[in-house]
Structure 1
Amino acid sequence: MASKVSILPKDIGSLSGGLPSAAPGTLFVLGPSGGMSVAPDADFPLTFGRNEPDVHVCVGMGDECVSRCQGLITYARSRWTLSNTGKRPIRFPGSRLVLKGDQAELATGYTPLFIVSPRQEHLLEIRIASVAPPPAAAVGTDAASHACRHRTSDGDTRDLAPEEKLVLICLAQRYLRNDPQPQPLTWSQVAYELTDLNPTDPWSPKRAAHVVAKVRRRLSSEAAITGLLGDDVPSPVGNALNHNLIADLLLTTTITKADLRLLGE
């Protein structure tokens, strides 16, 4: 059993960027505090939820709206199946929801799941190995650089100019750092951090907001993404527009934890 079930450390990086060597069908599950890998023949039902001592992978810690044991992943008939055993819905990329008591088959490859809570959504990364990744994708001290070279996604990544990506990584850094209650940075915070990165190119809050607004308008028009414009969201709008944008960029793996290197990390 020990060789078929392994612990994934917290600092492994996003599963969107690559995997350690693994047999086809191996399940990888990653939350903010780490995760696990399970071979398909391990006969090991994997649980996840907010109560760390009682589940294999913790997600939603500190959010009492997330169930102590929110879900279960099992292997049978040559497939991995997700079961929602908790109160909150589990969202697949897009709008598909798995409600309490329902099940859904997990596809080979990378699937970001979101535990839907009233105040936020908690990311749980899933990846099922298909074929052995190239040696360069092995997880280790250079995982961030490998992730950039070997990023895969079930959906199309969004095209971003270098300046746009830098601003969005700064705006979304709390999400990328697995903050338990992530929110976009304020425009003043974004401007301060970007100016601190390169004092010869000072940023103002208005300049940062203009860059992001341009991306939202473009993706709303070209990619038909809803929830990015003021008319799409009922008042009060608050951070909803930027949150919806960040959620799309995470779902499509346009931005990943590895991109925090752009902020000098």
Structure 2
Amino acid sequence: FGLVQGITEDVRLDVSAYYKDVTNLIQDAIYKDFQDVSYQTFVNREYADIKGFHISFEKTGGFINGYVRYNYETATANRPNTLDAPLTFQEAGLDGALFTENLPALGDVYLNFDRTHKAVFNLRFNTNEDDFFSVLGYHPFGRMKFSTTFRYMTGRPYTFDNTGQGLQFNQRTPNEKDWKMRIEKGIVIQKQQFNLYFEAFNLLNQGVFSYSRAFGDKETAEDWNLRNDIFLTEYENDPYNTSRGVYLVANQPRHYRFGMYLRF
């Protein structure tokens, strides 16, 4: 449910909340006969719930445009994913009776896609052909567009437990930040408009780690928690060390792009 309210003709506020009760998710199950031979399958047993709220403040039209969006969410379940803590069914004997092995209750844990906080900030400027000052009849800041977007997300849960308590998804990956920008200038030559643009990506030059490679693997998750200073170093063949950033980092470093397109 939610509420959308127009504050002015071009300013809108959107507030909404949601709750999703998820049942009948598949869960790993192992069947063992009386000779202790195992058979693996999946059953509909897992339970999860996803809840949160969303706030959006947006302005459209005019010289200045933009929006601010924020989302709070929790996604928990009694199992962190399909394959953790499988159900086990054991055949009692020759009569073929089955019983379920009693597993310790894990309680609710975060699902691996949970991100508690997500926020996006966008600001845009658009100018007309005759805006601002002119030089010999030419408006250098006319026909321009400027846009910048900043995104922030908290990290995803992953498992690292060196205490022997059997904790699940008890750690968080690093928070992620991304900032990009685009500037565009329209130039008219003999009634044909040419649009030049410049784009900058990952202005903060922050690396985002591949979740499955960096934190889904037990060894690399251990490196992050215990050997953080050499996390991106392949140290097993010391002193002949190499970087494993190309394998563990999922995004590109700061980079730029120039271009031109025509508008007919």
TM-score range, shorter chain: under 0.3
Q: TM-score, normalised by structure 2?
A: 0.24
Q: Which structure has the higher relative contact order (CA within 8 Å, separation 6+)?
A: 1
Which protein is richer in strand relative to its size?
2
Instruction: Name the larger-Rg structure.
Output: 2
Q: TM-score, normalised by structure 1?
A: 0.24
Which protein is richer in helix relative to its size?
1
